C-alpha cells in the first residue's frame, strides 16, 4: 500500500511540475503511424504520445468513465456513475534501436470496491525492446502475452463499446501480463505482411480452479501479483502468435498460450502431478472497401486439466468470442471538429464456460452466456469517443434453468490525452 501511495504522489508531483514549468507550446504530438503497414502487434507503440521539447521521453494515456442503468430480471442497482480506469504511458528511446515503453493503469472494479477493496493500481506493461532487424527483435520486462488480439489492443478509445468483450475478460485473463522475454518481428512485401511473436513468461496458478467462484476461471490468475517475481509451477508459460495481413483483405492471427499451471513441486519434493492449461485463439479484422464497414472478431478455446476429484462444475473445456460490426454513417465537420464521425455498431458475444455433458445423466452442461449490444458512437476526433450502448444479455446456470435476462443502457466517454 505504501508503494502505491508513493507512486500516486510521484505521478501527481510530475504532473504538477510539468504544468508549472513547461511551456505548453513545447508540447508536440508525436506523429502516429496511420499507414496500413501496421498490424495488431504494433498497437502498443502505435498510440498518441506527447513529446516535451527535446526530452527523450514521450507521454500519453487515456481515461474512461461511464453512466449505466442495468437490471437483471427486473432487479436493478439503479443509476450508477463509474470511473473505470486511467492509463498512463511513458515511452523513451534509450539509444539507437533500443526503446522503452510502460503503461500504468488505475482501475476501479465495481465488485472489488463494494467489498471494500481499494482501487487497483498496476504496471500493466514495462518492457525494453532491442531492435536487431525487422524480423528479429528482443523484448523483455513486463509484457502483455499476445494471446488473441484484444489483449494487446485494449485501449478504451479504440472501441465503440463501453464494456470489454466478455470472452476476452471473463474467460481469458484480461490484459494478462507477465514478466518474461521473447522475440518478435515482421516482414512485408507489397500488399502482404507477416508477423510473429514468441515469449517465455511466468504463468497461471492454482486459483484458476481453486477460487471462490467454484468454477474454472482463468482471470483469477490476474490477482496473483507474485507472478511478476516467480512462476507458480516453476515452469515457463509459452505464448506464440502468427499473423498475416493483406492490405485489401484484412488481418488473420492465430495464437496459443500454454504450460503447467499448478504447484507440483515444493522444496524439491513432488506434491502433485503436473496439470496444463492451454488456450488457442483466432482473431480477424478487416474494413470493407467503399462502405468502410469495420469488422473485428475473435474466438478462443480453453483447455484445463482438472483433478479427478473435482466436481463437473469445473470445466475442462471452454469456448467463446465476439464480433464487432461498426458502420460510419456520417463523416463531416460538426461543431468545429473537422473530421467528426457518427457510427452505428453492433457487438455479438457468446461464452460457454463448460463444454460437455454430465456423466450421470448425459444432459448438456449449460453455464453459458450470450449478449447483443447495439451502439451509437460519436467521434469528434479519432482519439475520443462518446458511446451509447444497450446491453441485452442472457445467462444460464450449470443445470440449464431458464436464463436470467440483463438489460439496460450504458453511456460512456473514453479519450486519449
Give the N- to C-terminal CA distance of the chain in Å, as an integer.
28
Residue keyed to cell 479484422: 285
Q: Quick one: pLDDT band at residue 3, thresholds 50, 70, 90?
A: very low
The Cα–Cα gap between 259 and 147 comes to: 13
Place of cell 504511458: 89
Residue 152: its pLDDT value, please?
Answer: 85
pLDDT surpasses 50 at 18: no
Contact 27, 51 (CB under 8 A): yes
- Contact 149/285 with Cβ under 8 angstroms? yes
Which grid coordinates belong to 32?
502516429
- Amino acid 384: pLDDT: 97
Q: Is the pLDDT of residue 392 over 50?
A: yes
The stretch 218-244 carries a mean pLDDT of 91
Band (230; pLDDT cuts 50, 70, 90): confident
Chain mean pLDDT for the chain: 89
Q: What pLDDT is stored for residue 235 in this prediction?
A: 94
Cα separation, 230 vs 176, in Å, equals 15
pLDDT given for residue 176 in this prediction? 85
Q: What value does the mean pLDDT take over residues 272-287? A: 96
Residues 6+ apart with CB under 8 A from 406: 70, 71, 72, 391, 392, 393, 394, 395
Sequence-separated contacts (24+) of 114-118 with Cβ below 8 Å: 118/1, 118/4
Can you give the pLDDT at residue 369? 97
pLDDT at residue 45, as a whole number: 84
Separation CA 200–CA 410 (nearest Å)? 39
Least confident interval from 253-257, 265-269, 277-281, 390-394: 265-269
State phi, psi for 224 to the nearest 5 degrees: -95, 95
Measured distance CA(331)–CA(328) in Å, rounded: 7
* Rounded alpha-carbon distances, angstroms, from residue 153 to 159, 202, 234: 10, 21, 29
The pLDDT value given to residue 25: 59
The neighbour count for residue 112, using CB atoms within 10 Å, is 14
The answer to whether the beta carbons of residues 197 and 328 sit under 8 Å apart is no
C-alpha 403/C-alpha 200 separation (Å) is 40
Q: How many CB atoms lie within 10 A of CB 141?
A: 18
Q: For the segment 121-157, what is each residue's pLDDT rounded down to a tens digit?
A: 888 899 999 999 999 999 999 999 999 999 889 999 9
pLDDT at 19: 46
Can you give the three-state secondary structure of the chain, one letter per residue?
Answer: CHHHHHHHHHHHHHHHHHHHHCCHHHEEEECCCCCCCCCHHHCCCCCCEEEECCCCEEEEEEEEEEEEEEEECCEECCCEEEEEEEEEEEEEEEECCEEEEEEEEEECCHHHHHCCCCCEEEEEEEEEEEEEECCEEEEEEEEECCCCCHHHCCCHHHCCCCCCCHHHHHHCCCCCEEEEEEEEEEEEECCEEEEEEEEEECCCCHHHCCCCCCCCCHHHHHHCHHHHCCCCCCCCEEEEEEEEEECCCEEEEEEEEEEECCCCEECCEECCCCCEEEEEEEEEEEECCCCCCEEEEEEEEEEECCCCCCCCCCCCEEEEEEEEEEEEEEEEEECCEEEEEEEEEEEEEEEECCCCECCCCCCECCCEEEEEEEEEEEEEECCEEEEEEEEEEEEECCCCCCCEEEEEEEEEEEEEC
Could you give phi then psi for residue 16, rounded to 5 degrees? -70, -45
Q: What does the CA dihedral 263, 170, 86, 335 come to, rounded to 10 degrees? A: 160
More confident residue, 343 or 113: 343
Task: Give the distance, in angstroms, between the CA of residue 337 and the centroid of all CA atoms in the same chain.
Answer: 30
If you average pLDDT over residues 375-398, what whole number do you get?
96
pLDDT at 31 over 70: no
If 0-12 CB within 10 Å is exposed, 13-18 middle and 19+ buried, where does residue 50 land? middle
Amino acid at each position: 500500500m505504501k508503494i502505491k501511495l508513493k507512486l500516486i504522489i510521484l505521478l501527481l508531483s510530475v504532473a504538477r511540475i510539468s504544468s508549472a514549468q513547461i511551456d505548453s507550446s513545447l508540447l508536440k504530438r508525436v506523429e502516429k503511424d496511420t499507414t496500413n503497414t501496421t498490424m495488431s502487434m504494433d498497437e502498443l507503440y502505435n498510440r498518441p504520445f506527447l513529446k516535451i521539447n527535446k526530452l527523450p521521453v514521450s507521454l500519453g494515456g487515456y481515461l474512461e468513465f461511464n453512466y449505466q442503468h442495468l437490471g437483471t430480471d427486473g432487479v436493478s442497482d439503479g443509476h450508477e456513475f463509474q470511473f473505470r480506469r486511467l492509463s498512463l504511458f511513458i515511452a523513451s528511446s534509450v539509444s539507437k534501436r533500443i526503446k522503452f515503453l510502460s503503461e500504468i493503469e488505475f482501475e476501479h472494479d465495481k465488485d472489488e470496491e463494494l467489498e471494500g477493496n481499494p482501487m487497483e493500481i498496476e504496471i500493466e506493461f514495462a518492457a525494453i525492446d532491442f531492435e536487431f532487424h525487422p524480423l528479429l527483435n528482443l523484448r523483455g520486462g513486463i509484457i502483455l502475452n499476445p494471446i488473441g488480439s484484444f489483449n494487446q489492443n485494449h485501449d478504451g478509445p479504440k472501441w465503440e463499446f463501453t464494456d470489454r468483450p466478455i470472452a476476452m475478460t471473463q474467460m481469458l485473463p484480461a490484459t494478462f501480463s507477465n514478466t518474461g522475454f521473447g522475440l518478435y518481428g515482421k516482414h512485408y512485401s507489397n500488399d502482404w505482411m507477416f508477423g510473429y511473436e514468441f515469449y517465455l513468461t511466468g504463468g497461471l496458478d492454482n486459483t484458476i480452479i481453486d477460487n471462490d467462484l467454484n468454477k474454472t476461471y482463468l482471470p483469477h490468475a490476474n490477482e496473483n501479483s507474485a507472478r511478476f517475481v516467480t512462476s507458480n509451477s516453476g515452469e515457463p508459460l509459452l505464448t506464440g502468435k502468427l499473423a498475416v495481413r493483406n492490405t485489401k483483405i484484412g488481418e488473420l492471427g492465430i495464437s496459443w498460450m500454454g504450460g503447467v499451471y499448478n504447484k507440483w513441486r515444493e522444496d524439491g519434493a513432488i506434491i502433485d502431478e503436473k496439470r496444463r492449461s492451454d488456450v488457442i485463439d483466432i482473431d480477424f479484422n478487416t474494413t470493407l472497401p467503399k462502405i468502410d464497414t469495420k469488422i473485428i472478431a475473435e474466438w478462443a478455446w480453453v483447455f484445463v486439466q482438472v483433478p479427478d476429484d473435482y466436481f463437473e462444475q469445473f470445466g475442462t473445456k471452454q469456448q467463446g468470442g465476439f464480433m464487432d460490426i461498426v458502420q460510419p454513417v456520417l463523416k463531416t465537420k460538426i461543431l468545429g471538429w473537422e473530421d467528426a464521425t457518427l457510427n452505428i455498431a453492433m457487438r455479438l458475444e457468446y461464452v460457454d464456460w463448460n463444454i460437455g455433458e454430465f456423466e450421470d445423466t448425459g444432459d448438456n452442461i449449460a453455464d453459458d452466456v450470450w449478449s447483443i449490444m447495439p451502439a451509437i458512437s460519436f467521434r469528434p476526433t479519432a482519439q475520443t469517443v462518446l458511446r451509447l450502448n444497450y446491453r441485452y444479455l442472457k445467462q444460464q446456470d450449470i443445470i440449464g434453468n431458464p436464463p436470467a435476462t440483463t438489460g439496460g443502457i450504458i453511456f460512456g466517454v473514453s479519450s486519449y490525452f
